[in-house]
Amino acid sequence: MRLPDCVVILTGASGGIGLALAEQLCAAGARVLAVSRQMGDLAGVLKRYPQHLTWHSADLRNPSGRDQVVQQARALGGVNVLINAAGVNRFALLDQLDEQALDELLDINLKAPLHLTRACLPLLRAQPRALVVNVGSTYGSIGYPGYATYCASKFALRGFSEALRRELADTSVNVLYAAPRATRTPMNSSAAMALNHALKVGMDDPVDVARAVLDAVQSERSELYLGWPEKLFVRLNSLLPGVVDRALRKQLPMIRRHVDGHAKESLK
């Protein structure tokens, strides 16, 4: 798809990867309905691209918030791209999360994109060519200690993307699943950043992730995995999960130290 021909609903548009996507889409000539609860740094993008960006405040956990987004899209004359980029993360062991935190993560990472995609399908099907982009994670393919709930949401999002792509195979709508590795965004806690540093995990800038996602959009790919050796680990985990089990077990003491340190800091 050519970016200048795109009319996009973009969720999670005010920070991290979403903000970088908003900037690059507008710079390429796309029209963007940017959705977030707060405008934040998106105000700068709106100032630079007032003809290309429309901002709408919505809580996508609520049916009314999602309905408002669809109504705004209809007011634009329809859309041909939906990018589900909104997400939250919690670096914590499962028994350290209360029920509210667990539900919020699943509501935002999984239920909101499923509901919004379902609501937008009539608009997308009305276009000669259309695309749903689900921004997942490497942790949608590799279960990692300290991220059990986050992994649950992203594994499910990956499965949803694959099944929906096959479900829509005889329509004009394609589905792209994009899986970034660790990315420098405010979504990561200081403890998560410290663990990545201790393990010498490569981290990408949101601008580079957004560029890769939009390259995949233009080349009409169905899947995008970012980072090396993360791509290798995804394949290895699929073929030889026991090898990954043993490797991650060696990291458990360090992971627990960082998780516990974060938990104690949160209680102060």
Active site residues: 150
Helix, strand, coil share (%) of the chain residues, nearest 5: 55, 15, 30
| Chain centroid, CA 179 distance in Å | 8
Measured between alpha carbons, how far is 196 from 260 in angstroms, rounded to an integer? 15
> Quick one: which of 185, 240, 238, 244 has its CA closest to 210?
185
What is the distance between the alpha carbons of residues 20 and 207, in angstroms, rounded to a whole number? 5
Answer yes or no: are the C-beta atoms of 29 and 12 closer than 8 Å: no
Neighbours of 160 (CB within 10 A): 21
Amino acid letter, 68 = Q
| Beta-bridge partners for 130 | 173
